[in-house]
């Protein structure tokens, strides 16, 4: 029977620390506050926003939503981002993505203040990660993966980690962060040969391909710790991971569930970044 690496205890630990920090900052007259920039009213954005606002309330972080029409121009969005950058009452900024096609995301990335960039969109913050500096605002999902492994006492030092994802949001920064922990990452993608050989022989396997239940038991071995980052529609009204959980859960050493694994920890990390930004902005 595999150990189930639930996200909840990790979330609780992060939230407890946030609450302590919120209390201390409050004593100094500061209220860490998140600014959400949302273009239009996509149902996915509204649902995500609702979850984040609820989480903010649960830890005492303030929040403010800056809504702009989905058809707003690049110039209008730029003006809004500048306004939120300059707002001294906002410490962390989250821009909901995907942005509409007429918006140039590569330019938007560069506009968000690096000090308030809690989702690590700005290339300045990403570059730090690639240079080995993990003290800044690092990407939330890779950080969540590392926090889960650490919480459950899995040593990263010298571990072989198969990362099945090469995107800038997950696989690439995660591999840099794993290097920082002195693990040995192997970045895999859709053209990787002998993937089963790589995964089954690795100590840790991180999947983030975005394909429901793609990885069955044949990809894994008894030595694997499996971190499933994928969030997919299972076609039956629920969400599931990239791993065929019920076929794998008894084969590997440990596995994260979906839902209830990496996703919840990612949100907690995002909130912890609001605290980090607030402290940095006020030299605390
Ligand atoms: P993405 O940009 O589409 O990247 C997918 C990656 O998977 C690519 O590197 C792709 O390889 C690889 N891939 C696709 N099919 C494969 C296959 N059959 N075998 C091996 N590799 C394969 O997606 P993303 O934005 O990084 O997100 C990936 C997943 O993570 C999605 O399910 C997303 O919802 C989830 N996610 C979760 C969180 C969280 O907090 N839990 C956060 C972000 C994303 P190529 O480069 O060769 O195409």
CATH number at residue 49: 3.40.50.10860
Count of domains for the chain: 2
Q: Note whether residue 271 is domain-resident.
A: no
Do both 99 and 199 map to the same domain?
no
Confidence of residue 1 (pLDDT cuts 50, 70, 90): confident
What pLDDT, on a 0 to 100 scale, did the predictor assign at position 284? 87
Residue 49 lies in a domain: yes
| In contact, 35 and 118? CB cutoff 8 Å | no
Compute, in angstroms, the gap from residue 13 CA to the centroid of ligand 1.
28
Which residue's CA is minimally distant from atom 35 of ligand 1? 230
Quote the domain boundaries for residue 103: 21-115
Whole-number Å distance between alpha carbons of 283 and 281 = 6
The answer on 212 and 100 residing in a single domain is: no
The answer to whether 262 and 256 have CB atoms below 8 angstroms apart is yes
Residue 51 lies in a domain: yes
Same domain for 108 and 207, yes or no, is: no
Q: How confident is the model at residue 76 (pLDDT cuts 50, 70, 90)?
A: very high
Q: Looking at the structure, tell me whether residues 257 and 146 fall in a common domain.
A: yes
- Mutation choice for ligand 1 from 190, 202, 263, 268, CB with most ligand atoms inside 8 A: 190
190 lines ligand 1 (CB under 6 A): yes
Do residue 150 and residue 242 come from a single domain?
Answer: yes
- State yes or no: pLDDT of 275 exceeds 90: yes
Q: Which helix (H) or strand (E) holds 267?
A: helix 262-281
Q: Do 32 and 107 reside in the same domain of the chain? A: yes
Residue 232's H or E segment, with its range, is strand 232-233
C-alpha of residue 154 to centroid of ligand 1, in Å = 24
Is residue 122, in this structure, part of any structural domain at all? no
- Determine, yes or no, domain membership for 248: yes
Measured in Å, residue 209 CA sits from the centre of ligand 1 at 3
Kindly indicate the confidence band of residue 2, based on its pLDDT and cuts at 50, 70 and 90.
confident
Same domain, 80 and 36: yes
**63 CA distance to ligand 1 centroid (A)?**
30
Asked whether residue 228 falls in the same domain as residue 144, the answer is: yes
Any atom of ligand 1 within 6 Å of the Cβ of 260: no
Residue 193 counted as domain residue: yes
Q: What is the pLDDT of residues 196-240, one digit of tens each?
A: 999 999 999 999 999 999 999 999 999 999 999 999 999 999 999
| CATH code, 238 | 3.40.50.720
**pLDDT, mean of residues 13-26:** 98
């Amino acid at each position: 029977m595999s150990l189930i690496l639930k996200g909840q205890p990790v979330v609780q630990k992060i939230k407890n620390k946030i609450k302590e920090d919120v209390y201390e900052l409050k004593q100094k007259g500061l209220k860490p506050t998140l600014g959400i920039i949302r273009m239009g009213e996509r149902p996915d954005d509204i649902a995500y926003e609702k979850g984040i606002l609820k989480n903010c309330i649960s830890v005492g972080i303030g929040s403010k939503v800056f809504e702009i029409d989905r058809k707003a121009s690049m110039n209008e969005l730029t003006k809004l981002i500048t306004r939120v950058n300059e707002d001294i009452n906002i410490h962390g900024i989250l821009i909901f993505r995907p942005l509409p096609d007429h918006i140039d995301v590569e330019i938007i990335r560069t506009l968000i203040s690096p000090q308030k960039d809690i989702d690590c969109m700005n290339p300045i913050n990403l570059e730090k990660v690639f240079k080995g500096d993990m003290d800044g605002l690092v990407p939330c999902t890779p950080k969540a993966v590392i926090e889960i492994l650490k919480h459950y006492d899995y040593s990263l030092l010298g571990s072989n980690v198969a990362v099945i994802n090469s995107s800038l949001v997950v696989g690439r920064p995660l591999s840099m962060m794993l290097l920082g922990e002195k693990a040995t990452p192997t970045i895999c993608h859709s053209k990787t040969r002998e993937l089963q050989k790589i995964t089954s022989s690795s100590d840790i396997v991180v999947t983030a391909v975005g394909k429901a239940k793609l990885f069955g038991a044949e990809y894994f071995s008894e030595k694997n710790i499996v971190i499933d980052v994928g969030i997919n529609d299972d076609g039956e009204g629920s969400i599931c991971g990239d791993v065929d959980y019920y076929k794998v859960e008894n084969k590997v050493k440990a596995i994260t569930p979906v839902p209830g694994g990496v996703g919840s920890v990612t949100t907690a990390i995002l909130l912890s970044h609001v605290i980090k930004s607030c402290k940095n902005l006020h030299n605390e």
